[in-house]
Structure 1
Amino acid sequence: MNLGSSPSNCSPPLSSGTSSSNKSSSIVSIGTQFQQQQYANSTSALPASDFSTTSATLFSFETITSLLFHQPITRIVVVLTVLHSLLGLGGKFPEHCSAPSYTLYGGESLGLLISPFVVPLTPTLLKSAHQTLGIAVMLAISNLISFGLFEERLTTLFRGNRSRRSNTSINRNSTRIFRNLVLVIVVLVMGLRQLFGFLFNRALGWAYPALFFSDSVNECNLGLAPFLFALLVIQAFLPDDPHPRTPSTSSTSTSVFVFRRIYVQIILCLFNVIPKAIVWWAGSGLIVGFVVSLGVAYQRRMGRWGGKVRITLYEKQERRWQDQNVVVGLGITDGQDISMTNNSNSMETSEDSDSESDSDSRHSLESTVAPAPALPSTDYSAMPGYVKERTTSYIARRLGGYVLPMILVLLFILVATSELHNYKPDVSNDALNNSIEPTTPFLLTLVIMTAPRRDGVGFIKQTLSSYLDAFPDVDGPTHPLYSRIQVIVYTHVTDHPRFDEARTFFETNPKAQKHVKWIREDGAEKSQRKHLISAIRKIGTSEDSVYMGIMEDDFPFCEGGFQTMLNTIYRADQQVKEHCGVFITTGGSGLIFKRSVALTASFVLEQDELAKQRGMAVPAPDQALQNCMLGNHDYCSSCAGTMVISKTLLQGHLGHDASTSGGHYSPKDFQCGWRHPFHGSP
Structure 2
Amino acid sequence: MSPKQVTGPSSPSRSTQKARGQDTTPQKQRTLMQALNSMHISSPSEQLHTPTSAALPKPCLSTQFTYGERDDSGHARVFDAQTGTELMRHHDLWFYDGSIVCRAEDVLFRVHMSLLARQSVCFGDMLAIPQPEQELDEKSGFDLSQEKAGSKAFKGRIPIIVLHDAAEDVENLLKALIDGPVFGNNGREDFRVVSGILRLATKYLFESLRATALSHLSIAWPKTLKGWEAREDRAQSYELDHPHQPRLYPHPFLVINLAREIEAPELLPAALYDISRFSYTQIFDPGDEDIFGIYPSPYPTLSPSDMQRFTIGKEAIHHMVTSLIQAMGNSLPNRQPSLHSSYSGNRRSHAGICVSATSCKKDFSELMDLATQHYLFDRERGSCDPLTVVLRLEMPKPSPPIATHDSSILAWPRYLAICGIIFPTALSALNASWSFPSFSPRQIIDSHDLFPFLVAPWAGPQSTLGLLSRIIQVALIWRAPSLGLGELLHGYWFWIQVAVCRTVVGFLLTRSVGWAFPALFSHYAMYEASSGYGPVLVVYLFTLDGAEITRLSGLRTDRTQPHSLVLGLSFLLCWLDTEPWTYGLAMVALVVLYLSASFVSRIRSRRQDRFATTTSPHRAFPLKAAFILIFLIALTNAVSSWFSPTKHALMPISPLPPARLLDIIILSFPRPDVKAGSKLITLTLESYAPLLSPNVSLAAFTHAEQHPAFDTVRDAFGNSQDITFYRDVDTHPDARSGQYLHLAEAFRWQLGRGAEQAEWVMIGEDDFPLCGKDNGAGQNALKTVMQMLEDGREGTGAIPARRGAFIGTGGSGLIFHRSLLPIMAHILRTHAELISKLPPNMPSRPADVVMQDCLLGRDPLCPPKRPGGLVITSRLVMDHIGGMYSTNANKASNSDKWRCGWRHAFHGMEEVEVLVVDGLW
Task: Please confirm whether the aligned pair reaches a TM-score higher than 0.5, indicating the same fold.
Answer: yes
Q: Which amino acid aligns with 1:288?
A: A
Q: Which amino acid aligns with 1:632?
A: R
- Given that residues 454 and 660 in structure 1 are in contact (C-alpha distance below 8 angstroms), is that contact kept between their aligned partners in structure 2? yes
- Specify the alignment match of 2:828 in structure 1: 605
Does 2:747 correspond to 1:536? yes
Does 2:704 correspond to 1:493? yes
Aligned pairs for 1:346-385 (under 5 A) are none
Does 2:666 correspond to 1:448? yes
- Specify the alignment match of 1:342 in structure 2: none
Given candidates 904, 909, 914, the residue that maps to 1:681 is 909
CA distance in 1, matches of 2:452, 2:437: 9
CA distance in 2, matches of 1:250, 1:483: 64
- Specify the alignment match of 1:113 in structure 2: 454
- Specify the alignment match of 1:198 in structure 2: 507
Does 2:40 correspond to 1:6? yes
- Specify the alignment match of 2:469 in structure 1: 139
CA distance in 1, matches of 2:489, 2:601: 16
Given candidates 752, 766, 774, the residue that maps to 1:553 is 766
CA distance in 1, matches of 2:39, 2:452: 71
Does 2:856 correspond to 1:630? yes
Alignment deviations for residues 586-609 of structure 1 (CA, whole Å, 9 cap, x no partner): 111110112222333223323434
Structure 2 counterpart SS, 1:550: strand
CA distance in 1, matches of 2:45, 2:658: 100
Shift of 1:489: 0.4
Shift of 1:216: 1.5
The 1:186/1:520 distance shift into structure 2, 3 A limit, reads same
- Given that residues 663 and 762 in structure 2 are in contact (C-alpha distance below 8 angstroms), is that contact kept between their aligned partners in structure 1? yes
- Given that residues 466 and 577 in structure 2 are in contact (C-alpha distance below 8 angstroms), is that contact kept between their aligned partners in structure 1? no
Q: Which amino acid aligns with 1:145?
A: A
Q: Which amino acid aligns with 2:742?
A: H
Structure 2 counterpart SS, 1:666: coil
- Specify the alignment match of 1:104 in structure 2: 445
CA distance in 1, matches of 2:790, 2:407: 45
CA distance in 1, matches of 2:553, 2:778: 62
Alignment deviations for residues 227-271 of structure 1 (CA, whole Å, 9 cap, x no partner): 234335545xxx645x99xx879969xx99944443443333333
Does 2:516 correspond to 1:207? yes
- Given that residues 602 and 616 in structure 2 are in contact (C-alpha distance below 8 angstroms), is that contact kept between their aligned partners in structure 1? yes
CA distance in 2, matches of 1:419, 1:63: 44
- Residue ranges of structure 2 left out of the alignment (5+ in a row): 1-33, 57-256, 259-299, 323-373, 384-400, 794-799, 911-921
- Given that residues 770 and 879 in structure 2 are in contact (C-alpha distance below 8 angstroms), is that contact kept between their aligned partners in structure 1? yes
Does 2:888 correspond to 1:667? no
CA distance in 1, matches of 2:489, 2:46: 46
- Given that residues 665 and 700 in structure 2 are in contact (C-alpha distance below 8 angstroms), is that contact kept between their aligned partners in structure 1? yes
Does 2:646 correspond to 1:425? yes
CA distance in 2, matches of 1:99, 1:494: 51
Structure 1 counterpart SS, 2:769: coil
- Given that residues 71 and 148 in structure 1 are in contact (C-alpha distance below 8 angstroms), is that contact kept between their aligned partners in structure 2? no
% identical equivalent positions? 21
- Specify the alignment match of 1:77 in structure 2: 417
- Given that residues 630 and 639 in structure 1 are in contact (C-alpha distance below 8 angstroms), is that contact kept between their aligned partners in structure 2? no
The 1:38/1:203 distance shift into structure 2, 3 A limit, reads closer
Shift of 1:487: 1.1
Alignment deviations for residues 82-114 of structure 1 (CA, whole Å, 9 cap, x no partner): 566677767776674321111221121011111
- Specify the alignment match of 2:8 in structure 1: none
- Specify the alignment match of 2:781 in structure 1: 564
Q: Which amino acid aligns with 1:152?
A: P
Shift of 1:144: 3.5
Does 2:527 correspond to 1:218? yes
Shift of 1:66: 6.7
Q: Which amino acid aligns with 2:760?
A: Y
Aligned pairs for 1:289-304 (under 5 A) are 289-295=590-596, 297=598
Shift of 1:533: 1.9
- Given that residues 652 and 787 in structure 2 are in contact (C-alpha distance below 8 angstroms), is that contact kept between their aligned partners in structure 1? no
Q: Which amino acid aligns with 1:270?
A: F
Shift of 1:290: 0.8
Q: Which amino acid aligns with 1:516?
A: I
Q: Which amino acid aligns with 2:514?
A: G
- Given that residues 632 and 640 in structure 1 are in contact (C-alpha distance below 8 angstroms), is that contact kept between their aligned partners in structure 2? no
- Specify the alignment match of 1:361 in structure 2: none
Shift of 1:575: 6.4
Structure 2 counterpart SS, 1:268: helix
Shift of 1:660: 4.2
- Given that residues 207 and 674 in structure 1 are in contact (C-alpha distance below 8 angstroms), is that contact kept between their aligned partners in structure 2? yes
Shift of 1:494: 2.5
Q: Which amino acid aligns with 1:111?
A: P
CA distance in 2, matches of 1:232, 1:413: 22
CA distance in 2, matches of 1:500, 1:119: 61
Alignment deviations for residues 102-142 of structure 1 (CA, whole Å, 9 cap, x no partner): 1221121011111012114xxxxxxxx3x14xx44332222
CA distance in 1, matches of 2:702, 2:552: 86
CA distance in 1, matches of 2:656, 2:376: 85
Q: Which amino acid aligns with 1:625?
A: M
CA distance in 2, matches of 1:270, 1:302: 34
Structure 1 counterpart SS, 2:515: helix
Given candidates 301, 315, 319, the residue that maps to 1:25 is 301
CA distance in 2, matches of 1:188, 1:403: 18
Aligned pairs for 1:179-198 (under 5 A) are 181-198=490-507
Shift of 1:665: 5.3
Shift of 1:523: 3.8
- Given that residues 807 and 814 in structure 2 are in contact (C-alpha distance below 8 angstroms), is that contact kept between their aligned partners in structure 1? yes
- Specify the alignment match of 1:281 in structure 2: 582
Structure 2 counterpart SS, 1:556: coil
- Specify the alignment match of 1:587 in structure 2: 810
Shift of 1:219: 1.3
Shift of 1:621: 1.7
Does 2:636 correspond to 1:413? yes
Shift of 1:502: 1.1
Alignment deviations for residues 378-428 of structure 1 (CA, whole Å, 9 cap, x no partner): xxxxxxxxxxx9779x989x64x55423431233234445667xx463334
CA distance in 2, matches of 1:78, 1:138: 14
- Given that residues 662 and 762 in structure 2 are in contact (C-alpha distance below 8 angstroms), is that contact kept between their aligned partners in structure 1? yes
Structure 1 counterpart SS, 2:701: strand
- Given that residues 450 and 499 in structure 1 are in contact (C-alpha distance below 8 angstroms), is that contact kept between their aligned partners in structure 2? yes
- Given that residues 550 and 591 in structure 1 are in contact (C-alpha distance below 8 angstroms), is that contact kept between their aligned partners in structure 2? yes
TM (normalized to structure 1)?
0.66
Structure 1 counterpart SS, 2:569: helix
The number of equivalent residue pairs is: 531
Alignment deviations for residues 295-329 of structure 1 (CA, whole Å, 9 cap, x no partner): 5656998999xxxxxx98xxxxxxxxxxxxxxxxx
- Given that residues 142 and 268 in structure 1 are in contact (C-alpha distance below 8 angstroms), is that contact kept between their aligned partners in structure 2? no
- Specify the alignment match of 1:476 in structure 2: none
CA distance in 1, matches of 2:450, 2:682: 46
Q: Which amino acid aligns with 2:470?
A: A
- Specify the alignment match of 2:845 in structure 1: 619
The 1:604/1:144 distance shift into structure 2, 3 A limit, reads farther
The 1:38/1:451 distance shift into structure 2, 3 A limit, reads closer
Structure 1 counterpart SS, 2:726: strand
The 1:442/1:25 distance shift into structure 2, 3 A limit, reads same
- Specify the alignment match of 1:439 in structure 2: 657
- Specify the alignment match of 1:475 in structure 2: none
CA distance in 2, matches of 1:278, 1:226: 9
Structure 2 counterpart SS, 1:31: helix
- Given that residues 649 and 671 in structure 1 are in contact (C-alpha distance below 8 angstroms), is that contact kept between their aligned partners in structure 2? yes
- Given that residues 487 and 516 in structure 1 are in contact (C-alpha distance below 8 angstroms), is that contact kept between their aligned partners in structure 2? yes
CA distance in 1, matches of 2:553, 2:818: 71
The 1:678/1:66 distance shift into structure 2, 3 A limit, reads farther
- Specify the alignment match of 1:340 in structure 2: none
Provide the alpha-carbon RMSD of the alignment.
Answer: 4.6
